[in-house]
Amino acid sequence: MRGGLRKALFVTLLVTAGGFLTALFPALFGLADLTEGIGVWALASLVGLAAGLAGLWVMMTLLDGHFDQLVRLHGAVLGAGVRGGTLPDSWNARGGKPDELQRLAGAIAAMLARDRADDRRVDARLSAILGAIGEPILVVTQTGLISLMNAKAAALLGADRLHLGGSLYAILDRTPLIDASGESRAAGAPVERTLTGVAGDTYPARVVPLDEPDGLLIVFLSDVPGHAAGIVEHDMALHDTPPDIAPHPDLPLTELPALSLDCETTGLNVATDRVVSAAGIVMHGPRLYRHLAYDRLVNPGVPIPPASTAIHGITDDMVASAPPVAEVLAELAELLRGRVVIGHNIAFDLAVLRAEAARHGVAWSDPPALCTALLFSFLYPRHRDLNMEAVAAMCGAEIEGRHTAFGDCLVTAEIFAGMLPLLAEQGVTTLADAQRVLAQPSVMRARQHEAGWHAPADGKAGER
């Protein structure tokens, strides 16, 4: 018989059955008479009964743990899209013979790896074809992010300045490029223009409008002698943007425009402590848009206590030249516009931001929010440990960069993505459903209220 759980259940079943048979045998054959005291047969019956009950308890524990592991694997598979199609390392068998779930996880991981390998083969072939083009070429998004470049473009514009995801406007003057883009789209055909570098250098180029992906192809007409056509680097996901959907009560959670948000602070007192770092990642349901991420250090205007630095690693020197919180609050307010904020114990982060807004006279209104800690407690009311590590482990999420604002954003996004189908199984499918769940009385919510984390009824702060 293969499989650790099956073996354990088989042995436990034998012990349970043997225990109950031992308990019943003396009674069935009249061998135990308790009126004469506890004799050998009566003692055997009691021992058998105890063994049977213990066996039942062990069986229930094994099955309960097995189903908990299935839930974790379920969450890990659903969160694989957040991690780029991989399962957390915790599902890799480490020494010894893998059990049933590890073999299942291994099969899923192998299937995901095959899909990634197929994508890489297609990418490699396209890169080889595009790399054979003799001219320097770039593809940029509508916002100017570089999504594709070949070796000749790097040689022409400077390999130290040109990189995927970087802004072309840091290298080329924005105005001539935008004008050429407008003309080419109006004409429905490529146009040739001389583009100007930020340092005054010039580059004759052909600008080609692209509909899919939405952006521009720029073919530089300058010769780059001595440089053979090289490998093409690209990231077409930079062209992806979330759909323009306004959150409303009946909106499915799988279509929710959201921002996974986290702040690091000088301490845990929401009334007096300050923000030292803030990060957010734009989401649409379970999908992440990493190129739309926000990550800022913040100058708190006060010394950072060593005890806090020991947790998040942010020092006074690191934030000395960082922007003040008033500037960051304005950026966050714009980023949150039309989105639901998601966070682990998000009430703490919002309370700190609310207090900072009031302290600096900045208008602030709390956005609609979903707390992954409270959602997890709804799904698993028996689990008392609701810190991010425990929730991530149960949901099959991978912890990376813990106690950094950006790292915690990624973990929270992965947790939320893995929760969506589990919430749907409990009938929680819309924003209104989730908000109803979060409004239910609970010990954790009561403690948050006592700590002053939750906003007043109007949710506003900072207006003087």
From 59, 84, 105, the end of a domain falls on: 105
Q: What are phi and psi of 132, to 5 degrees?
A: -80, -10
Same domain, residue pair 337 and 427: yes
Residues 90 and 170 in one domain: no
Tens digits of per-residue pLDDT, 173-212? 988 888 988 898 888 889 999 999 888 899 999 999 888 8
Alpha-carbon distance of 444 to 453, in angstroms, equals 11
Domain extent at residue 282: 253-461
Beta strand pairing call for 233-234 and 215-220: unpaired
224 and 279 housed in the same domain: no
Residue 231 has pLDDT above 80, yes or no: no
Q: Is the pLDDT of residue 139 over 50?
A: yes
The pair of structure tokens assigned to 461 is 């702060």
Beta bridge partners of 261: 280
Q: Which residues pair with 149 in a beta bridge?
A: 138, 233
Quick one: residue 165, left, alpha or beta (phi over 0 = left, psi -120 to 50 = alpha)?
A: left
pLDDT of residue 84 exceeding 90, the answer is: no
Quickly list H helices, 93-226: 100-131, 151-157, 174-187
Q: Which two tokens stand for residue 449?
A: 């209220």
Same domain for 403 and 453, yes or no, is yes
Are 292 and 376 within one domain? Answer: yes
Q: What CATH number has the domain bearing residue 204? A: 3.30.450.20
Q: Give domain status of residue 338, yes or no.
A: yes
Is residue 105 scored above 60 in pLDDT?
yes
Which of 41-45, 120-124, 262-266 shows the lowest per-residue confidence on average (mean pLDDT)?
Answer: 41-45
pLDDT digits (tens, 9 = 90+) for 370-394: 999 999 999 888 877 888 888 887 7
pLDDT at 85 over 60: yes
Task: Give residue 278's pLDDT.
Answer: 96
Q: What does DSSP say about strands 364-365 and 460-461: parallel, antiparallel, or unpaired?
A: antiparallel
Query: Is residue 243 in a domain?
Result: no
pLDDT in tens, 400-443: 656 688 889 988 998 898 888 888 888 999 999 999 999 988 88
Indicate which CATH number applies to the domain containing 342: 3.30.420.10
163 & 300 share domain: no
Whether 2 has a pLDDT exceeding 60, the answer reads no
Residue 248 resides in a domain? no
For residue 32, what pLDDT is reported?
55
- The mean pLDDT value for 7-27 works out to 78
Average pLDDT, the chain: 84
Looking at residue 459, its pLDDT comes to 46
pLDDT band at 356 (very low <50, low <70, confident <90, very high): very high
Residue with tokens 């018989």: 1
pLDDT band at 227 (very low <50, low <70, confident <90, very high): low
The closest of 209, 228, 231 to 149, measured between CA atoms, is 231
CA dist., res. 285 & res. 203, Å (int): 42
357 versus 395: the higher-pLDDT residue is 357
pLDDT of residue 361: 94
d(CA 418, CA 78): 5
* Residue where one domain finishes, among candidates 228, 261, 295: 228
336 and 443 part of one domain: yes
